[in-house]
A and B are shown apart, each in its own frame.
Chain A
């Protein structure tokens, strides 16, 4: 099945990059996310100490020159923990959204494409799962498989599937009812070509926006699970877990609570802003 005629087959919407950079939200978001990625990749170089090593400094040291973000109850350097935590956070976001989006998109596209009994079954199941709410699904998963960061990530990933499936389904319905889709059917296109060559590229922009915003939801959900003790286990430098640990020492060492929370908030803010920017820049694809 040849895809091109020696001519490039697909394009980004006109002026996409220009509009993205014009949107202040998008720019700020992009910078935050890029900063985060940088920290995650270069954590080893940036971190002054070993995040897991207890007694690096005295316990409960407030932020100072040696330890810019202070130390925790085990004397571990907070800055290093935060930096390594960024790596985990990004991984969580990527894996969870990866699961949700892949399965969700498949379900959504198939349902919109098939328009028949398969559509009914898929969408009704999605609706039912959707009413369980992501929290419950994630919780149930962890309840069954036991608390661990891995399980928490998979739980969040699976819990997100109904949402992505539904969103993809609506977007796909819009595309499949457009004349160009029917024109391809008339030309004799088979399901493979229709799904992957016509439907997916047109649904992808919307899904990317949703995914970017979804990364923030996933990070928050996983952090929440870790906070409850159902996710990351010691001595992982996961931010939600760090927040949980700070509870007992709120009075004594308030920075233990402020800093990881701030880290989560900024990360999530970054993805939200980026997603917002992407959404506005993808909107006016065409002008009549």
Chain B
């Protein structure tokens, strides 16, 4: 088991390291002069100021040196300053990150709590109307663009019915964005759970359990469910990453003050320090969650726990 986790951890570090490299190179991929572009929209910056920024970012140095400068600043917690207001990027991100995380985690809860039982039920009643109905629902759910779902929910619950607020942060405001993100992903969990359960049910050891005279409900609960949920756990890591991605759009619809909204604004404003900081943070969060989920899986699957 430790070997398994060790490999995962190593890959995680590798990913983060590659991210830092890519992030430094990002600025150079921009066609044209990045510093000019960054400051194109802010009035009154003198050529000397631009030169200063250029030197402080190390853009006049060869790339490896730049990278070292970037890493040095990174370890000191300095992610640069925003173009707009000159705030430290780290501060801006730290302010907003908890909001995004809250959104993603809540959405994950919703997705799992709705999706997994749905899939389980569909598998249990495989081939019946219940199964067909649920699966049609889920395929419809997957096909629906989550930004459209968000708009529709906004329209019905906030504007038409006035039950929930339209935008803002915290509290009741969490419900609509979390629902939007959660429902679209619930469909994926439903399908995955169903196919995993059906797969497990066709395995030999289920026959053995029946051959012992155990009733269907007991077999499902003790044998099928535990074995079938393992792939679902693995999926959770992947789905979390998707949800983080989806959060970017959802935050925009509901004016939720998280890092996703920050990133999109930054792209429009060509605020590269924020974009770099965002990419790094996003990667870090995704990698950490993936490792945590892998650790959970290693504990749950006896084949890995006692390899």
Contacts and interface: CB of A to CB of B under 8 A. Distances in A.
A touching B, CB within 8 angstroms: yes
Interface of A: 25, 124, 127-128, 131-136, 139-140, 142-145, 147, 216, 220, 223-224, 227-230, 240, 243, 246-247, 250-251, 254, 257-258, 261, 264-266, 268-269, 272-273, 276
B268 interface: yes
Given A220-B145, A224-B145, A230-B264, A246 B31 contact: no
A122 to B, nearest CB: 14
Given A223-B145, A261-B151, A143 B275 contact: yes
Given A131-B287, A132-B283, A268 B245 contact: no
B45 interface: no
A266 B142 CA distance: 11
B71 to A, nearest CB: 18
A135 B148 contact: no
A68 to B, nearest CB: 21
Contacts of B264: 228-230
A250 B157 CA distance: 13
A261 to B, nearest CB: 3
B139 A269 contact: yes
Interface of B: 11, 14-15, 18-19, 22, 26, 29-31, 139-140, 142-148, 151-152, 154-155, 159, 241-242, 244-246, 248-249, 252-253, 263-264, 266-268, 272, 275, 279, 282-283, 286-287, 290
Contact of B252 (A228, A254, A257): A228
A127 B11 contact: yes
B181 to A, nearest CB: 12
B267 A273 contact: no
Given A140-B275, A257-B152, 6 more contacts: A135-B246, A139-B263, A224-B249, A227-B147, A257-B148, A265-B143
A228 B250 CA distance: 10
A254 B267 CA distance: 29
12 contacts: A128-B14, A131-B286, A133-B241, A135-B246, A139-B263, A140-B26, A140-B279, A143-B267, A145-B31, A216-B142, A224-B145, A250-B151
A258 B11 CA distance: 44
A247 B167 CA distance: 13
Nearest to B248: A135
A238 B286 CA distance: 31
A272 B135 CA distance: 12
A218 to B, nearest CB: 12
Nearest to B31: A145
A222 to B, nearest CB: 11
Contacts of B152: 257-258, 261
Nearest to B147: A227
Contact of A250 (B26, B144, B159): B159
Main secondary structure of the interface of A (DSSP, over half): helix
Contacts of A145: 29-31
A203 B155 CA distance: 45
B245 A136 contact: yes
Nearest to A261: B148
Contacts of A265: 140, 143-145, 148
A128 B241 contact: no
Given A145-B31, A224-B249, A254 B155 contact: yes
Contacts of B286: 131-133
A136 B283 contact: yes
Given A229-B268, A254-B155, A144 B29 contact: yes
Contact of A136 (B140, B145, B146, B282): B282
Contacts of A240: 145, 147
A247 B11 CA distance: 42
Contacts of B148: 243, 257, 261, 264-265
Nearest to B247: A135
A243 B151 contact: yes
Contacts of A227: 145, 147, 249
Nearest to B132: A24
A216 B143 contact: yes
B151 A246 contact: yes
Contacts of B146: 224
A120 to B, nearest CB: 12
A228 B249 contact: yes
Contacts of A229: 264, 268
A130 to B, nearest CB: 9
A251 B249 contact: no
Contacts of B155: 250, 254, 257
A139 B282 CA distance: 12
A220 B282 CA distance: 21
Contacts of A276: 139
